[in-house]
A and B are shown apart, each in its own frame.
Chain A
Amino acid sequence: MLLENQVALVTGSSRGIGAAIAKKFAAEGAVVIINYLHNQQRADELVDTIATADGQAVALQADVRDAEAVGRMITTIQENLGTLNIVVNNALNHYQFDPKKRATNWQTDWSAYQNQIDGSVKGSFNVCQAALPLLQQQPGGRIINLVSNLIESPIVPYHDYITAKTALLGYTRTLASEVGAFGVQVNAIAPGLTYPTDSSVTTKNDVRERIIEQTPTGRLTIPEDIAGSAVFLASDLSANMTGQCLYVDGGLVMH
């Protein structure tokens, strides 16, 4: 197993991409902390699912936008598990990906931007600040930030969301530059439209088909695709790789 004896925190992981990552990490031997904001029931269910498959997970509530709450969560992890090796910043402020109802730029005021920046950037910042002392205890710590392939090609211009995710990639790179010396690797994953998830159900068939048409692999991304890349970035398979962004979107964006 690729993540044996590792402790991993996945924020916003009661559902969707986060849940898929948590399950895959557990299947690879990690002890996974399922962080959630509201949905304790789904988080508990995920813990049960993982336990049924002989994995180890615990659910911990914390609003990642709240530095104190994050601090308490990390302290709980430290006191109970003694260490933390992997952090996946997956949580974001709730967002509905609905191309038909999206706000145009003149309809998007600063508060919308601020909300997304708080969810993506401040949330990741809070978690990293609190977790880094633990990640730095031993060379090999990993941080994975979830961004979006829309930052490269805004096929649907979700202004506030894309701006925040782009900032998160900048944070990923600047953080990687400094903590590499501690043996901590910081990378990003940029998923394409990942379907089905609670956020993407409102992306209707026509847009999905349009995206599929332009996608070399001829399909949308599923949460397990992202989980595979996350395992790669969390494990020794990605040794000496940092400050990078993996696009997992069937080749829609190419560099």
Chain B
Amino acid sequence: MIILADNQKVKLYWVPTAFKLENKTVKTLQVDGQTYRLQAPELTAELVTSIGNACRIARQHSLANMTVAEIVTIIDQAIEKWCHSDYPQRILAEKLLPAITGYDHTTVALEIKRFVRNFRKKELWRFIDTELDNPAILDDFHPQKSGQLTKAIGPTAIFHVFSSNIPGLQIWSLIMGLITKSANLGKTSLSEPLFPVLFSQTLAEVSPELAATIAILPWKGGTHDLEQAAIDSTNATIVYGSDQAVKSIHALVPDDKIFLHYGYKISFAMIGAEALTPEYYPQMVQKMAEDIAVYDQQSCLSPQTVFVEAGGTITPHQFAQLLAKALTNNQLKWPRAKLTTSEAVAVTRLRQESQIQALTDATIQVIASPDSTAWTVVYHQKPALMSSPLNRTIHVMAIDDLAQVPALLRPYQPFLQSCGLAVAPQRLLELGSQLGDAGIDRICAIGDMTRAQSGWHHDGRFNLLDLLKMVDIELGAEALAEHFDPDVE
């Protein structure tokens, strides 16, 4: 049993057990009458290097020799613990994450529960089988259709630069690293450093050997000596975050090392007239409002604009009004996080600019929560894809025909990601294809926008294949080897 909170001290890091780090309290939280002192280590480049080395050595003795099935089973057992409401780490996450991130506690509890289910055994195989015809090549050489023997080899060690916008999201990357049998060195930010630490503790409960290949360390992004040490002691780097964060790390990574990045993305929704019947329009509005409310649009999967097709029972304008009411309700159910001054200014600025435009342009209308920045709906009769200052701020675009949307996406092509889509099956594939051409890499149901399914090609890429290197033994080499068998005829 891992001790979670030592005198209410909570460690914001995870390192192989041999390391005893100097701590200091970086934040004190009061939750439910209890004081929690969040502990972060004093880090130096030398320490990061030796932690990275220790993880690699531990990998050599454990993870490298495990089969993928064994690794999947360990992760599954860890996830199973998180699927129980009385699991201590989950209770701690549900208590502390809202206080650390500012997100509403009901949302955090619900979304974490839903998120971890993405990594049950059956879901993990979905990730793996989606990308590898024969997952056994992760363990050994197996013949391919072309005849040669192939084995897939993951990086010895991966340096993850996690983003902090969505609690828990870090373990997606961490788990992919484990499946490729890599040691993992994760850098968190102090905005959400906790979840991967708690999950590593769970892995240690199931398999101390596997957990010893992981280190999770918080430090301020842009601390180049620590980042360089982490990059030097690993052979692949995955960065999540702003374009600035991506560029800053990329500059440090030598060309011969794998560098993957998941930067700024924009998502939107499209609702067809056929989904706006008297029977369905209320749920379309509810689900759209939920996608906007979950994690206050901080996820790159969250919609920033919704295109509403004319010709349904409700007009796009009425959709905007209904959405406003639904967002009012959500504010009661799942209150939005408190904003920083700059976030609040961004929302207020959009409201003011739109209201000024609306004075001379009757095609724009602003509906906003009174006396607060809790939610904002900006209705536009002239459709365009628009980014939003987030925090429950949404543009509703009236459009005559959804088929016109792909042409509006062009300026944003490099940044496009998810599209929540509600249309009849007759239009699904054709629109899907046009959206794909326009740059979208995920088409999902309205109401599920922030919950990517297991096996999703994140930003259109491969979760595992991008990390793997294939080693082929050609037929000739194999045949030649046969000659050298001392027992050959």
Q: How far is the CB of B346 from chain A (nearest CB, A)?
A: 22
0 or 1 for each of B289-329: is its CB under 8 Å from A? (1 = yes) = 00000000000000000000000000000100110111010
Contact of A181 among B326, B365, B367, B370 (CB under 8 A): B326
B285 within 8 A of A: yes
A181 near B282: Cβ-Cβ < 8 Å: yes
Nearest CB in chain A: distance from B191 CB, A: 32
Please encode chain B, from 38 to 73, with 1 for each CB lying within 8 Å of some chain A CB and 0 for all others.
Answer: 000000000000000000000000000000000000
Q: Judging by beta carbons under 8 Å apart, are A182 and B325 in contact?
A: yes
Using CB atoms, name the residue of chain B closest to A180. Answer: B325
> When each residue 257-286 of chain B gets 1 if its CB lies under 8 Å from chain A and 0 otherwise, what string results?
000000000000000000000000010010
- Asked if A183 is at the interface (CB within 8 A of a chain B CB), the reply is yes
Bound: A138/B367 CA distance, A: 6
B328 pairs with A139, CB closer than 8 A: yes
Residues 346-377 of B contacting A (Cβ, < 8 Å): 365, 367, 370
Q: Are A136 and B328 in contact (CB under 8 A)?
A: no
Tell me whether A174 is interfacial, beta carbon within 8 Å: no
Asked if A137 lies at the interface with its beta carbon under 8 angstroms from chain B, I say yes
Instruction: From known contacts A136-B318, A138-B367, infer whether A183 and B328 are also in contact, taking CB-CB under 8 Å.
Output: yes
- Taking CB atoms, residues of chain B closer than 8 Å to A140 are 370
Chain B residues near A137 (CB-CB < 8 A): 321, 365, 367
Quick one: CB contact mask for A119-137 with B, threshold 8 Å, 1 for yes? 0000000000000000011
Please name all residues of chain A whose beta carbon is closer than 8 Å to the beta carbon of B322 when the two chains form the complex.
Answer: 181-182
Residues of B contacting A: mostly: helix
- Cβ of A5 to closest chain B Cβ, rounded Å: 9
- How many angstroms from the CA of A48 to the CA of B282 in the assembled complex? 45
**B side interface size, CB within 8 A:** 12
Partner of B285, one of A136, A138, A139, A181: A181
A45-60 CB contact bits vs B (8 Å, 1 = yes)? Answer: 0000000000000000
Min CB gap B285→A, angstroms: 7
Q: Which residues of A contact B367 (CB under 8 A)?
A: 137-139
Q: A139 contacts which chain B residues (CB < 8 A)?
A: 324-325, 328, 367
Asked if A138 contacts B324 (CB within 8 A), the reply is yes
Residues of B within 8 A of A136 (CB): 318, 321
Contacts of B365 in A (CB 8 A): 137
Smallest CB separation, A83 vs chain B (Å): 12
Q: Mark B362-399, 1 if CB is under 8 A from A, else 0.
A: 00010100100000000000000000000000000000
Provide the residues of chain B in CB contact with A182, threshold 8 Å: 318, 321-322, 325
Q: Enumerate chain B residues within 8 angstroms of A138, measured Cβ to Cβ.
A: 324, 367, 370
Instruction: Report the Cα distance A137→B321, complex, angstroms.
Output: 6
Instruction: Please indicate the chain A residues that have their CB under 8 angstroms from the CB of B328 in the complex.
Output: 139, 183
Question: Please, what's the 1-or-0 string for A176-209, where 1 marks a CB less than 8 Å from any CB in chain B?
Answer: 0000011100000000000000000000000000
Kindly provide the distance from the CB of B278 to the nearest chain A CB, expressed in whole angstroms: 9
Chain A residues near B370 (CB-CB < 8 A): 138, 140
Minimum Cβ distance to chain B for residue A139 (Å): 4
Which residue in chain B gives the minimum CB-CB distance to A5?
B370
The 8 Å CB contact of A183, one of B282, B318, B324, is: B324
A136, B322: Cα distance in complex, Å = 8
Interface residues of B in 421-446 (CB under 8 A from A): none
A38 to B89, CA, bound (A): 74
Q: How far is the CA of A139 from the CA of B370 in the complex (A)?
A: 10
Say how far B157's CB is from chain A's closest CB, in angstroms: 53
Cβ contacts A13-54/B at 8 Å (1 or 0 each):
000000000000000000000000000000000000000000
CA distance A60 to B168 in the complex (A): 60
Considering the complex, give the chain A residue whose CB is closest to the CB of B324.
Answer: A139
Least Cβ–Cβ distance between A128 and chain B, in angstroms: 15
Residues of A within 8 A of B282 (CB): 181
A182 to B322, CA, bound (A): 5
Q: Which residue of A lies closest to B367 (CB)?
A: A138
> How many angstroms between the C-alpha atoms of A183 and B332 in the bound complex?
14
Question: What separation, in Å, do the CA atoms of A139 and B332 have in the docked complex?
Answer: 14
Give CA–CA (A81, B182) in the complex, Å: 67
Contacts of B326 in A (CB 8 A): 181
> Taking the nearest CB of chain B, how far is it from the CB of A231, in angstroms?
19
Distance of B330 from chain A, by nearest CB (Å): 12
Question: What residues of chain A lie closer than 8 Å to B285, measured between beta carbons?
Answer: 181
Q: Which of B321, B322, B326, B365 has the most CB of A within 10 A?
A: B321
- How far does the Cβ of B365 sit from chain A's closest Cβ, in whole Å? 8
> What residues make up the interface of B, taking CB atoms closer than 8 Å to A?
282, 285, 318, 321-322, 324-326, 328, 365, 367, 370
Q: Which 8 A-B pairs have the closest CB atoms?
A: A183-B325, A139-B325, A136-B321, A139-B328, A181-B322, A182-B321, A182-B325, A139-B324
Can you name 15 A-B pairs with beta carbons within 8 Å?
A: A136-B318, A137-B321, A137-B365, A137-B367, A138-B324, A138-B367, A139-B325, A181-B285, A181-B326, A182-B318, A182-B321, A182-B322, A182-B325, A183-B324, A183-B325
Contacts A137-B367, A140-B370, A183-B325 known; list 17 others, CB within 8 Å. Answer: A136-B318, A137-B321, A138-B324, A138-B367, A138-B370, A139-B324, A139-B325, A181-B285, A181-B325, A181-B326, A182-B318, A182-B321, A182-B322, A182-B325, A183-B321, A183-B324, A183-B328
